[in-house]
Amino acid sequence: MSLKISAILVLVILSTNFANGKVLQILHTNDLHSFWEHGFDKSKGGYARLKAMMDSLEAEGDSKGWVTIRLDAGDFSEGSLDFFAGNGSYSYRLAKMLNYDVVALGNHEFVMGLNALAAHAKIPEERIPLVASNFESPVDINLKPGRIIYRSGLKIAVVGATTDEKEYRWGALPALITAPMAPVQHWLGEQNADINIALSHLGLDADINLVRESKFIDLVIGGHTHDALEEPVYGLDPDKNIVPIVQAGSHAEYLGRIVVELPQKGSLLLKSYELLPMSHELPEDQTIKDEVNRGKKELNALFLPLKLDHVIGEITQDYVIADPKLTPLACYVANTLREAVQADAALDLGELYGKGLAQGKVTVGDILNLQPHRYDFETKGWTIYTCKYTGSTLRSLVNLAFRKAENAILLSGIAHKNVIGLRIDGNRIVDSKIYKVAFSEGVVKAARHQFYVNKFFPNSCIDTKIVIKDVILQKIMSETDFNYRLDRCLQDRAL
C-alpha cells in the first residue's frame, strides 16, 4: 500500500528550492481515451464540460494573480470507438483544442505505431506537445524528454515518463523505451527550474518507485492506472522529501486541480488538491461540442448500416469485465469467442475490454466499445486467433497465465481449480489430445514479444479474420433477454 499522509501534513514542507512568492494552479487529466461525450458512468465526463471547467478555473486563477497550466498524463487517443472517426484526427484535434501545455506520451498513443504519431505531428491542428524522457524515437513525433513553461516569471519544468511494461513496449518499435528513473533525474537535474513536475504515464505504483529513485521531483501528475485519487498519495524521494502524486481517474470523468504556493523564502506548499467530477449539469464549451458532433457524424457514417445509438436492451446492474474474478460479462465474451471459431476453449485478458457495461440502456455503440482496439486503420478492431495445443502444453499455458497475468483472465470451456484438475468441457484434459484454443489478436501479438510466453504462440496459430466486436454484437443482438443471459452465463457455462 502506498504511503498516505493526512490532510494536516499536506501543509508541511515538501521541498526547499523556491523563492518567488507565486501560486501555481495545475489542471490535469489522464487516460481520456477519446471518450468524447461521457465515461463508463454516463452521467459524467465529456470534453466540452472539461474545457468549460478548465477555462473557468483559469479565469478564477487569473483574478487571484495565480499562474495556471494544463497537463495531460497520456492515453488521450486510442481506446474507444470515437477514436475511429477521421482515422484518429478528431481525437488529436480535440486534445489540441483543450489547450494543454504539455501531454505525456501514453501506450495507447504508440500502439498505433510511430508513423501514425508522426502523421499527426505534421498537422499543426493535431500537433500535441508530447513528453517522455525514456522514449527514443527515430522519427519526428513532436516528442521531447521534457518541456519548460515560462509564465509570469516562473520557470516550470515538466518531464515526461511513459510505461516501459513489456506488454506494451513492442508496440513502439523501432523506438526504444527504457526504465524512467535515470532519464527523468538527468533531465530535471539540468533545468534549474522553480518547480519540477513529473508528468507520468507509468501508473501509480511505478510513480511511487520513480519518486523513491529519482531526485529533483517536486510533484507527480500521473496516469495509466485510471486511479481517481481523492487525496494525493505521498512518495519519499532519495533526499527524504515528501512528494505528492495525483491522478484524475479516466475518460474525462474528473478534472484534477492542484494548487501549490512557491513562497518568497522557504518551501513549496500544497495549498489544495481536489478531484472535480464532470457531472452532466455543468456548462459545455460550444466549440468543443460542435467538433464532437462533427466527429460523431463521421463515426456514425463509418459504421452504417449499424446505428451506434440504437438501443439493444436495458441492464439492471453494472456488468464489469476487468475484474480479477470471472464475471458474467467476462464469461459471456469468452464464450462468444469460443463459439465463433468452434474452439475447445477460449482464453483472453479482461483488461483488454475496458471496464464493461453500465446499468441502464445499452446501445450498439456501447457493445462495440467493449473491444474498440486496433493496430491500424485497415481492420475494424482485433480479430480472433486460434492455436492448437496438446493437453500437456495447454496445461502449462493456463498455469503460466494464472501465475503471470495481473488482471482478469477470461476463460471459456476451461475449468481451473489447479493444474492437475484442469478440465475441458467437464472432462479431464488428456495430455496427448489436441485442443483448439481461441485468443484475441492483442494477446497473441503481445505474447509473441515476450520471451517467457512466446513459445506458446508459434506461426502456426491462425488469424481467423473474424472481428471480435462484430461477433459480440451479433451474439448480444440475437438474445431475447440480455439481462437473463448475462446473469446465467456463469451458471450455464460448460465445465
Q: Would you say 76 or 216 has its CB closer to Zn ion?
A: 76
For Zn ion, how many residues bind (rule: CB under 5 A)? Answer: 4
Please choose, out of 81-89, 183-191, 218-226, 448-456, the segment that lies near Zn ion by the rule CB under 5 A.
Answer: 218-226
Minimal distance, residue 166 CB to Zn ion, in Å: 14
Dihedral sign, CA of 195, 196, 202, 206? negative
Site for Zn ion in 279-308 (CB under 5 A): none
CA distances from 42 to 118, 202, 360, 362 (A): 33, 27, 9, 11
Nearest to 111 by CA among 188, 184, 201: 201
12 CB-near residues (< 8 Å, 6+ apart): 242
Site for Zn ion in 107-146 (CB under 5 A): 107
C-alpha–C-alpha distance, residues 318 and 358, integer Å: 4
Beta bridge partners of 201: 162
Minimal distance, residue 137 CB to Zn ion, in Å: 18
The three cell numbers locating residue 484: 437473463
The amino acid present at 403, given as its one-letter code, is: R
Q: Would you say 207 or 285 has its CB closer to Zn ion?
A: 207
Minimal distance, residue 224 CB to Zn ion, in Å: 4
Minimal distance, residue 106 CB to Zn ion, in Å: 5
Minimal distance, residue 75 CB to Zn ion, in Å: 4
Minimal distance, residue 164 CB to Zn ion, in Å: 12
Using rule CB under 5 A, residue 194 touches Zn ion: no
DSSP track, 186-232: HHHHTT--SEEEEEEES-HHHHHHHHHH-SS--EEEE-SS--B-SS-
Q: Applying CB under 5 A, which of residues 224, 257, 296, 485 lies at the interface with Zn ion?
A: 224
Minimal distance, residue 105 CB to Zn ion, in Å: 10
Please choose, out of 105-113, 171-179, 211-219, 343-351, the segment that lies near Zn ion by the rule CB under 5 A.
Answer: 105-113
Dihedral sign, CA of 480, 484, 485, 491? negative
**Residue 408 phi/psi, 5° resolution?**
-60, 135
Minimal distance, residue 203 CB to Zn ion, in Å: 8
Which residue has its beta carbon closest to Zn ion? Answer: 224
CA distances from 437 to 65, 396, 414, 422 (A): 62, 14, 10, 14
Q: Would you say 354 or 413 has its CB closer to Zn ion?
A: 354
Please choose, out of 101-109, 124-132, 227-235, 343-351, the segment that lies near Zn ion by the rule CB under 5 A.
Answer: 101-109
Please choose, out of 45-53, 219-227, 236-244, 256-264, the segment that lies near Zn ion by the rule CB under 5 A.
Answer: 219-227
Burial class of residue 263, CB neighbours in 10 A (0-12, 13-18, 19+): middle
Q: Would you say 93 or 224 has its CB closer to Zn ion?
A: 224
Please choose, out of 222-230, 253-261, 270-278, 452-460, the segment that lies near Zn ion by the rule CB under 5 A.
Answer: 222-230
88 in helix, strand or coil? helix
Number of residues that this document lists for the chain: 495
Residue with cell 501514453: 106
Site for Zn ion in 329-348 (CB under 5 A): none
Residue with cell 480535440: 94
Asked if omega into 183 is within 30° of 0 (cis), the reply is no
CA distances from 338 to 46, 412, 463 (A): 35, 7, 14
Minimal distance, residue 161 CB to Zn ion, in Å: 12
Q: Would you say 105 or 486 has its CB closer to Zn ion?
A: 105
Site for Zn ion in 58-77 (CB under 5 A): 75
Minimal distance, residue 201 CB to Zn ion, in Å: 6
The amino acid present at 172, given as its one-letter code, is: A
Minimal distance, residue 208 CB to Zn ion, in Å: 17
110 CB-near residues (< 8 Å, 6+ apart): 117, 135, 162, 168, 171, 172, 175
Using rule CB under 5 A, residue 106 touches Zn ion: yes
Q: Would you say 107 or 200 has its CB closer to Zn ion?
A: 107
Would strands 319-320 and 383-390 be described as parallel, antiparallel, or unpaired?
A: unpaired
Minimal distance, residue 371 CB to Zn ion, in Å: 17
The three cell numbers locating residue 391: 493437453
Q: Would you say 114 or 424 has its CB closer to Zn ion?
A: 114
The three cell numbers locating residue 229: 485519487
Q: Would you say 130 or 429 has its CB closer to Zn ion?
A: 130
Q: Would you say 221 or 259 has its CB closer to Zn ion?
A: 221
Q: Would you say 46 or 106 has its CB closer to Zn ion?
A: 106
Site for Zn ion in 353-412 (CB under 5 A): none
Q: Would you say 30 or 327 has its CB closer to Zn ion?
A: 30
Q: Would you say 143 or 156 has its CB closer to Zn ion?
A: 143
264: left (phi over 0), alpha (psi -120 to 50) or beta: alpha
Using rule CB under 5 A, residue 38 touches Zn ion: no
Give me the residues that bind Zn ion (CB under 5 A), please. 75, 106-107, 224
